[in-house]
Structure 1
Amino acid sequence: MVTRKKISGSGSMDSAGDIFDSSLNLEETHYQEGYKEGYNHGIATGKEEGREVGLKTGFETGEELGFYKGCVDVWNSAIQVDPTRFSSRIQKNIKQMQELIQKYPVMDPENETVQEIMEALRLKFRVIRAALGVKLEYNGYPKPVDIEF
Protein backbone atom coordinates (compact mmCIF):
# COMPACT_ATOMS: atom_id res chain seq x y z
CA MET A 1 0.00 0.00 0.00
CA VAL A 2 1.30 3.43 -0.89
CA THR A 3 1.13 6.09 1.80
CA ARG A 4 1.45 9.77 1.07
CA LYS A 5 2.50 12.56 3.32
CA LYS A 6 0.80 15.85 3.00
CA ILE A 7 3.13 18.80 3.00
CA SER A 8 1.71 21.75 4.82
CA GLY A 9 0.78 24.72 2.84
CA SER A 10 1.30 23.85 -0.84
CA GLY A 11 -0.36 20.45 -1.08
CA SER A 12 1.83 19.62 -4.10
CA MET A 13 2.46 16.00 -2.96
CA ASP A 14 -1.28 15.26 -3.04
CA SER A 15 -1.77 16.42 -6.62
CA ALA A 16 1.29 14.45 -7.77
CA GLY A 17 -0.01 11.39 -5.91
CA ASP A 18 -3.43 11.74 -7.53
CA ILE A 19 -1.83 11.61 -10.98
CA PHE A 20 -0.14 8.31 -10.16
CA ASP A 21 -3.18 6.87 -8.39
CA SER A 22 -5.15 6.71 -11.63
CA SER A 23 -2.25 4.94 -13.33
CA LEU A 24 -1.84 2.51 -10.45
CA ASN A 25 -5.55 1.73 -10.40
CA LEU A 26 -5.85 1.39 -14.18
CA GLU A 27 -5.43 -2.38 -14.14
CA GLU A 28 -7.99 -2.81 -11.38
CA THR A 29 -10.44 -0.49 -13.16
CA HIS A 30 -10.16 -2.45 -16.41
CA TYR A 31 -10.48 -5.73 -14.53
CA GLN A 32 -13.69 -4.55 -12.82
CA GLU A 33 -15.15 -3.24 -16.10
CA GLY A 34 -14.29 -6.49 -17.89
CA TYR A 35 -15.78 -8.54 -15.08
CA LYS A 36 -19.04 -6.56 -15.17
CA GLU A 37 -19.29 -6.86 -18.97
CA GLY A 38 -18.53 -10.58 -18.85
CA TYR A 39 -21.00 -11.18 -16.06
CA ASN A 40 -23.80 -9.33 -17.87
CA HIS A 41 -23.00 -11.13 -21.13
CA GLY A 42 -23.01 -14.47 -19.28
CA ILE A 43 -26.41 -13.76 -17.77
CA ALA A 44 -27.90 -12.90 -21.17
CA THR A 45 -26.36 -15.80 -23.09
CA GLY A 46 -26.98 -18.23 -20.24
CA LYS A 47 -30.70 -17.51 -20.33
CA GLU A 48 -30.77 -17.87 -24.10
CA GLU A 49 -28.80 -21.13 -24.09
CA GLY A 50 -30.90 -22.46 -21.22
CA ARG A 51 -34.06 -21.73 -23.18
CA GLU A 52 -32.70 -23.51 -26.26
CA VAL A 53 -31.66 -26.58 -24.24
CA GLY A 54 -35.02 -26.60 -22.47
CA LEU A 55 -36.94 -26.47 -25.75
CA LYS A 56 -34.82 -29.25 -27.24
CA THR A 57 -35.14 -31.46 -24.17
CA GLY A 58 -38.86 -30.78 -23.90
CA PHE A 59 -39.38 -31.64 -27.55
CA GLU A 60 -37.44 -34.90 -27.22
CA THR A 61 -39.36 -35.89 -24.09
CA GLY A 62 -42.71 -35.05 -25.68
CA GLU A 63 -41.79 -37.00 -28.78
CA GLU A 64 -40.85 -40.09 -26.76
CA LEU A 65 -44.03 -39.86 -24.66
CA GLY A 66 -46.05 -39.49 -27.86
CA PHE A 67 -44.43 -42.58 -29.34
CA TYR A 68 -45.32 -44.65 -26.27
CA LYS A 69 -48.85 -43.21 -26.21
CA GLY A 70 -49.28 -44.13 -29.86
CA CYS A 71 -48.15 -47.70 -29.19
CA VAL A 72 -50.54 -48.02 -26.25
CA ASP A 73 -53.41 -46.62 -28.36
CA VAL A 74 -52.74 -49.14 -31.15
CA TRP A 75 -52.51 -52.03 -28.70
CA ASN A 76 -55.72 -50.94 -26.95
CA SER A 77 -57.47 -50.71 -30.33
CA ALA A 78 -56.34 -54.25 -31.13
CA ILE A 79 -57.69 -55.41 -27.75
CA GLN A 80 -61.08 -53.75 -28.47
CA VAL A 81 -61.31 -55.52 -31.81
CA ASP A 82 -60.25 -58.88 -30.39
CA PRO A 83 -60.09 -59.09 -26.57
CA THR A 84 -58.32 -62.46 -26.81
CA ARG A 85 -55.60 -61.01 -29.05
CA PHE A 86 -53.12 -60.56 -26.17
CA SER A 87 -52.66 -62.55 -22.99
CA SER A 88 -53.96 -61.10 -19.74
CA ARG A 89 -50.33 -60.48 -18.68
CA ILE A 90 -49.65 -58.37 -21.78
CA GLN A 91 -52.94 -56.52 -21.34
CA LYS A 92 -51.99 -55.77 -17.74
CA ASN A 93 -48.60 -54.41 -18.86
CA ILE A 94 -50.29 -52.23 -21.51
CA LYS A 95 -52.65 -50.85 -18.86
CA GLN A 96 -49.70 -50.13 -16.53
CA MET A 97 -47.87 -48.38 -19.36
CA GLN A 98 -50.95 -46.25 -20.05
CA GLU A 99 -51.13 -45.31 -16.37
CA LEU A 100 -47.45 -44.30 -16.39
CA ILE A 101 -48.05 -42.06 -19.41
CA GLN A 102 -51.00 -40.42 -17.66
CA LYS A 103 -48.94 -39.99 -14.49
CA TYR A 104 -46.06 -38.26 -16.30
CA PRO A 105 -45.93 -34.61 -15.07
CA VAL A 106 -45.85 -32.92 -18.48
CA MET A 107 -46.54 -29.48 -17.05
CA ASP A 108 -44.06 -29.85 -14.18
CA PRO A 109 -40.65 -30.74 -15.70
CA GLU A 110 -38.87 -30.05 -12.41
CA ASN A 111 -40.87 -32.78 -10.70
CA GLU A 112 -38.44 -35.31 -9.25
CA THR A 113 -40.42 -38.26 -10.62
CA VAL A 114 -39.89 -37.51 -14.34
CA GLN A 115 -36.77 -39.65 -14.68
CA GLU A 116 -38.26 -42.46 -12.63
CA ILE A 117 -41.45 -42.54 -14.70
CA MET A 118 -39.57 -42.35 -18.00
CA GLU A 119 -37.32 -45.24 -17.01
CA ALA A 120 -40.38 -47.27 -15.95
CA LEU A 121 -42.03 -46.50 -19.32
CA ARG A 122 -38.96 -47.63 -21.24
CA LEU A 123 -38.76 -50.82 -19.23
CA LYS A 124 -42.47 -51.55 -19.61
CA PHE A 125 -42.20 -50.94 -23.36
CA ARG A 126 -39.32 -53.43 -23.64
CA VAL A 127 -41.30 -56.02 -21.65
CA ILE A 128 -44.37 -55.66 -23.89
CA ARG A 129 -42.28 -55.65 -27.05
CA ALA A 130 -40.48 -58.83 -25.99
CA ALA A 131 -43.75 -60.55 -24.99
CA LEU A 132 -45.28 -59.68 -28.37
CA GLY A 133 -42.13 -60.72 -30.21
CA VAL A 134 -42.00 -57.54 -32.29
CA LYS A 135 -38.95 -55.56 -33.38
CA LEU A 136 -40.42 -52.17 -32.52
CA GLU A 137 -37.99 -49.53 -31.27
CA TYR A 138 -38.03 -45.87 -30.39
CA ASN A 139 -35.08 -44.26 -32.19
CA GLY A 140 -35.90 -40.64 -31.53
CA TYR A 141 -36.22 -37.84 -34.01
CA PRO A 142 -34.01 -38.45 -37.05
CA LYS A 143 -30.75 -36.59 -36.67
CA PRO A 144 -29.14 -34.93 -39.71
CA VAL A 145 -26.46 -37.08 -41.28
CA ASP A 146 -22.95 -35.64 -40.98
CA ILE A 147 -21.33 -35.41 -44.37
CA GLU A 148 -17.56 -35.29 -44.42
CA PHE A 149 -15.64 -33.90 -47.36
Structure 2
Amino acid sequence: MAAGEELFDSILLADEKYRGEGFREGYQRGTRRGLQGGRRHGAAHGSRLSSEVSFYHGFATTWTCLLDHSSDVKSRKRMKALEALLALIQDCPLDDPQSATLQNNTEKLRAKFRQVCSMLNVPTDFKEYVHTAEGMSF
Protein backbone atom coordinates (compact mmCIF):
# COMPACT_ATOMS: atom_id res chain seq x y z
CA MET A 1 0.00 0.00 0.00
CA ALA A 2 2.96 2.30 0.44
CA ALA A 3 3.59 2.22 -3.30
CA GLY A 4 -0.01 3.32 -3.94
CA GLU A 5 0.36 6.21 -1.51
CA GLU A 6 3.65 7.25 -3.15
CA LEU A 7 1.97 7.22 -6.55
CA PHE A 8 -0.92 9.32 -5.23
CA ASP A 9 1.49 11.74 -3.51
CA SER A 10 3.60 12.07 -6.67
CA ILE A 11 0.46 12.94 -8.64
CA LEU A 12 -0.56 15.60 -6.10
CA LEU A 13 2.96 16.98 -5.86
CA ALA A 14 3.30 17.03 -9.64
CA ASP A 15 0.25 19.27 -9.85
CA GLU A 16 1.77 21.69 -7.33
CA LYS A 17 5.19 21.49 -8.95
CA TYR A 18 3.91 22.27 -12.46
CA ARG A 19 1.59 24.97 -11.19
CA GLY A 20 4.54 26.65 -9.44
CA GLU A 21 6.75 26.36 -12.52
CA GLY A 22 3.97 27.75 -14.70
CA PHE A 23 3.47 30.65 -12.33
CA ARG A 24 7.19 31.52 -12.31
CA GLU A 25 7.46 31.25 -16.09
CA GLY A 26 4.33 33.36 -16.59
CA TYR A 27 5.58 35.94 -14.10
CA GLN A 28 8.93 36.21 -15.89
CA ARG A 29 7.27 36.57 -19.31
CA GLY A 30 4.86 39.17 -17.96
CA THR A 31 7.72 41.13 -16.42
CA ARG A 32 9.64 41.14 -19.70
CA ARG A 33 6.58 42.21 -21.70
CA GLY A 34 5.78 44.89 -19.14
CA LEU A 35 9.29 46.32 -19.38
CA GLN A 36 9.17 46.28 -23.18
CA GLY A 37 5.78 47.98 -23.20
CA GLY A 38 6.98 50.54 -20.66
CA ARG A 39 10.02 51.35 -22.78
CA ARG A 40 7.87 51.83 -25.90
CA HIS A 41 5.43 54.01 -23.97
CA GLY A 42 8.24 56.10 -22.46
CA ALA A 43 10.00 56.53 -25.79
CA ALA A 44 6.80 57.67 -27.49
CA HIS A 45 5.94 60.21 -24.78
CA GLY A 46 9.52 61.40 -24.50
CA SER A 47 9.68 61.90 -28.24
CA ARG A 48 6.46 63.92 -28.25
CA LEU A 49 7.64 66.10 -25.37
CA SER A 50 11.00 66.65 -27.02
CA SER A 51 9.31 67.58 -30.29
CA GLU A 52 7.04 70.04 -28.49
CA VAL A 53 9.89 71.74 -26.61
CA SER A 54 11.98 71.87 -29.79
CA PHE A 55 9.10 73.59 -31.55
CA TYR A 56 8.85 76.16 -28.75
CA HIS A 57 12.59 76.77 -28.95
CA GLY A 58 12.50 77.29 -32.72
CA PHE A 59 9.46 79.53 -32.40
CA ALA A 60 11.06 81.70 -29.70
CA THR A 61 14.39 81.90 -31.52
CA THR A 62 12.73 82.93 -34.77
CA TRP A 63 10.63 85.63 -33.13
CA THR A 64 13.64 86.87 -31.19
CA CYS A 65 15.52 87.34 -34.47
CA LEU A 66 12.51 89.09 -36.04
CA LEU A 67 12.07 91.51 -33.12
CA ASP A 68 15.76 92.06 -32.44
CA HIS A 69 16.00 95.43 -34.22
CA SER A 70 12.67 96.85 -33.02
CA SER A 71 12.88 99.49 -30.32
CA ASP A 72 9.28 100.31 -29.43
CA VAL A 73 7.81 99.49 -26.02
CA LYS A 74 5.64 96.60 -27.25
CA SER A 75 8.60 94.95 -28.95
CA ARG A 76 10.69 95.20 -25.77
CA LYS A 77 7.91 93.56 -23.76
CA ARG A 78 7.60 90.84 -26.37
CA MET A 79 11.38 90.30 -26.35
CA LYS A 80 11.33 90.00 -22.56
CA ALA A 81 8.57 87.38 -22.76
CA LEU A 82 10.48 85.50 -25.47
CA GLU A 83 13.62 85.54 -23.34
CA ALA A 84 11.59 84.18 -20.42
CA LEU A 85 10.30 81.40 -22.69
CA LEU A 86 13.84 80.55 -23.77
CA ALA A 87 14.98 80.56 -20.12
CA LEU A 88 12.18 78.12 -19.23
CA ILE A 89 13.27 75.87 -22.08
CA GLN A 90 16.84 75.92 -20.78
CA ASP A 91 15.69 75.09 -17.24
CA CYS A 92 13.43 72.23 -18.31
CA PRO A 93 15.04 68.95 -17.14
CA LEU A 94 14.48 67.01 -20.37
CA ASP A 95 17.55 64.84 -19.82
CA ASP A 96 16.13 63.49 -16.54
CA PRO A 97 12.75 61.83 -17.21
CA GLN A 98 12.36 60.96 -13.51
CA SER A 99 12.69 64.58 -12.39
CA ALA A 100 9.98 65.62 -9.97
CA THR A 101 9.79 69.06 -11.58
CA LEU A 102 9.45 67.92 -15.21
CA GLN A 103 5.64 68.00 -15.24
CA ASN A 104 5.47 71.36 -13.47
CA ASN A 105 8.11 72.90 -15.75
CA THR A 106 6.32 71.58 -18.84
CA GLU A 107 3.05 73.19 -17.71
CA LYS A 108 4.84 76.50 -17.07
CA LEU A 109 6.45 76.27 -20.50
CA ARG A 110 3.10 75.73 -22.21
CA ALA A 111 1.54 78.63 -20.30
CA LYS A 112 4.43 80.94 -21.21
CA PHE A 113 4.13 79.87 -24.87
CA ARG A 114 0.42 80.77 -24.85
CA GLN A 115 1.25 84.12 -23.26
CA VAL A 116 3.90 84.87 -25.89
CA CYS A 117 1.53 83.90 -28.70
CA SER A 118 -1.08 86.24 -27.25
CA MET A 119 1.44 89.09 -27.09
CA LEU A 120 2.46 88.45 -30.70
CA ASN A 121 -1.15 88.09 -31.90
CA VAL A 122 -0.32 84.62 -33.21
CA PRO A 123 -2.73 81.65 -32.88
CA THR A 124 -1.58 78.99 -30.42
CA ASP A 125 -2.87 76.06 -32.47
CA PHE A 126 0.07 74.73 -34.49
CA LYS A 127 -1.11 71.13 -34.77
CA GLU A 128 -1.12 71.19 -38.56
CA TYR A 129 2.48 72.41 -38.58
CA VAL A 130 3.88 70.11 -35.92
CA HIS A 131 4.23 66.44 -36.82
CA THR A 132 3.82 63.91 -34.05
CA ALA A 133 6.55 61.52 -33.05
CA GLU A 134 4.79 58.60 -34.78
CA GLY A 135 6.28 59.65 -38.11
CA MET A 136 9.79 59.97 -36.71
CA SER A 137 12.41 57.30 -36.96
CA PHE A 138 15.69 57.15 -35.09
Query: Could you tell me which residue of structure 1 aligns to residue 108 of structure 2?
Result: 120
Contact 1:129 1:136 (C-alpha < 8 Å) held by counterparts: yes
Is structure 2 residue 108 aligned with structure 1 residue 141?
no
1:3 alignment partner in structure 2: none
CA RMSD of aligned residues (A): 2.1
Inter-partner Cα distance in structure 2 for 1:141 and 1:72:
18
What percentage of residue pairs aligned between the two structures are identical? 30
Indicate the residue corresponding to 1:29 in structure 2. 17
Indicate the residue corresponding to 2:84 in structure 1: 96
Corresponding letter in the other structure for 2:34:
G
Structure 1 stretches lacking a partner, 5+ long: 1-11, 145-149
Matched, 1:57 2:45: yes
Give the TM-score, by structure 2 length.
0.84
User: For residues 66 and 122 of structure 1, do their structure 2 counterparts lie closer, same or farther at Cα, with a shift above 3 Å needed?
Assistant: same
TM-score scaled by structure 1? 0.78
Q: 2:78–2:119: 8 Å Cα contact kept in structure 1?
A: yes
The one-letter code of the counterpart of 1:97 is: L
Count the aligned residue pairs.
132
**C-alpha displacement at 1:86, in angstroms?**
4.1
| Kept after mapping to 2: 8 A contact 1:64/1:138 | no
Q: Which has the higher helix share?
A: 2
Partner residue, 2:29: 41
